[in-house]
Amino acid sequence: MKIAVTAANGQLGSSVVNELKKQIGKNNVIGIVRSPEKATHLGVEVRKGDYNNPNDFNTALSGIDRVLLISGMDDPQKRIQQHRNVIEAAKKNGVKKIVYTSIVGDEEKNAFSPVVQSNRLTEEDVKNSGLDWSIGRNGIYIEPDLEYIDTYIKEGEIRNCAGDGKCAYTSRVELGYAYTKMLIQDIHNNSTYNLVGDPISQKELVELINQVYNTQLLYNPISVDDYAKERKLELGEFIGAVITGIYKGINDGVYNIHSDYEKAAGRPFKSTIEMIKSFKYK
């Protein structure tokens, strides 16, 4: 069975490729990337695939049995056609199964909603493709918070507009394991899974970070307006609004969801403290 992963050089793509190599052997794994020179570290056959170029995928998916479509990073409206380029090429090439990395979240309530809407449209395209399919909805990655640790330490706090809301985070390593199982095993066909861990509040997150990093950070909730202002100043209008939308979503309870991770992976999701430790000591 030959399995291809799109955007394979990205952090999520690399995590899935690494797990697939362990489970089906490197000769059965193909990494599809838009810049092949960025993918030599993968240690598998690499083919070219830019989401904007349908012809790339008509070639790249030749002889492939199953494909993991990793959602793109472009403007939400552009992503829909980009993903369709992969789905259409999969159909033409006789690919049997498509697995798609979607996202949890609300389709209407906040500035992150356009991204969620575009992911939902691709979910429909995948389901209507006529191929076997399986969809994972990724939670918010925990890694960016941990990559930000030096800033948090400098400021002595984590400050955002999530309030007491709970968020079921996920991690790319845990996702790599679940997507590998979803690609390999047929029991996941025609299923959509929330791929997340236990829901925790920002206060709980800060306590766990303090334990692992030996810090004394505080959690300080601020208003949505104040948070939007500071994020837009630091990250620009678009990304600032998207990040604010995510934290507003946490406050609204959008990410306080049940997990299907164990169904997908056949093992429980790591506890949050284990995720933080594996990030720190990786």
Q: How far is the CB of 13 from ligand NAP (least distance, A)?
A: 6
CB closer to ligand NAP, 72 vs 221: 72
Q: Is 1 helix (H, G, I), strand (E, B) or coil?
A: coil
Amino acid of residue 210 = N
Nearer to ligand NAP, 34 or 277 (CB): 34
Between 86 and 228, name the residue whose CB sits nearer to ligand NAP: 86
* List of E strands, the chain: 3-5, 29-33, 45-48, 66-70, 97-103, 132-138, 157-160, 166-168, 191-195, 199-201, 218-221
Residue nearest to ligand NAP (CB): 10
Taking the complex as a whole, the smallest distance from the CB of residue 255 to ligand NAP amounts, in Å, to 10
- Give just the sign of the alpha carbon dihedral 201, 75, 192, 34: negative
Residue 263 CB partners (closer than 8 Å, separation 6+): 191, 193
Distance in Å, CB of 253 to ligand NAP, minimum: 18
What distance lies between CA 258 and its chain's CA centroid?
17
When the beta carbons of 14 and 129 are compared against ligand NAP, the nearer one is 14
Catalog residues that contact ligand NAP under the rule CB under 6 A.
Answer: 7, 9-13, 34-35, 38, 50-52, 70-73, 103, 138, 140-141, 172
Task: Specify the residue, 52 or 128, whose C-beta has the smaller distance to ligand NAP.
Answer: 52
Give the nearest distance from C-beta 197 to ligand NAP in angstroms.
Answer: 13
Spatial contact of 160 and 234, defined as CB atoms under 8 Å apart: no
Rounded to whole angstroms, the Cα distance separating 32 from 94 reads 17
- Minimum distance, C-beta of residue 216 to ligand NAP, in the bound complex (Å): 27
